[in-house]
Amino acid sequence: MLKYYKYFLFIWLGLIFCAHGYAQTSTYGKLQAAYVYNFAKYIKWPNNFEVFNISVLGETEITEDLKAVLKNKKASGKEIALNVINTLEEAKDINILYVPSSRSRDLPYILKTLEGKNVLVLTEEDLARKGATISFIMEDDKLGFKINKNVLIKAGLTVSEGLLKMAVII
């Protein structure tokens, strides 16, 4: 009987730790999605557009969280459209390009292709120093972000003071 009890306890603890890891991943994705929405809300784009387009480069875990957070939301007074694209050639009139860590190696090509356009390039990895407009970072187990102010200015984007106060500026 004790043998079965130990076995049951082992399985139960394993399930708890797996669920805890899933909850952390899920919470992380939801936080990222909320940040993306706030970036759309508190950064101003100079060009006139009919729909506020957020594109995710490749399928990634955050896509479902973004769909949930962005549903029926507006940015710059416009409906928000979320698109998953596999290549930059598929991107049409985008405002934010979300680059997951699986595609970070493509950053030099992405930056060259989008040069001179009013596009915010958002990365999962800390790539703001390498030319991304905004990058997510983890500090003390807390999600934060870095803003490359020079890249932001070159893209013709204006950020609110409140958002700047929350960011690490480089």
Question: CA–CA separation, 109 vs 151, rounded Å?
Answer: 16
> Confidence class of residue 48 from pLDDT cuts 50, 70 and 90?
confident
Digit-coded pLDDT (tens) for 67-84 = 999 999 999 899 999 999
> Do residues 155 and 134 make contact, with C-beta atoms less than 8 angstroms apart?
no
Digit-coded pLDDT (tens) for 14-34 = 333 333 333 344 688 999 999
Question: CA–CA separation, 13 vs 16, rounded Å?
Answer: 5
Domains of the chain: 2-169 (3.40.50.2300)
Digit-coded pLDDT (tens) for 81-129 = 999 999 999 988 999 999 999 999 999 999 999 999 999 999 998 899 9
Q: Measuring CA to CA, which residue among 102, 114, 112, 108 is closest to residue 57?
A: 102
Instruction: Name 162's Cβ contacts closer than 8 Å, sequence gap at least 6.
Output: 42
Instruction: Name 166's Cβ contacts closer than 8 Å, sequence gap at least 6.
Output: 144, 145
Tokens at residue 63, please? 């896509």
- For the segment 138-155, the average pLDDT, to the nearest whole number, is 94
More confident residue, 46 or 56: 56
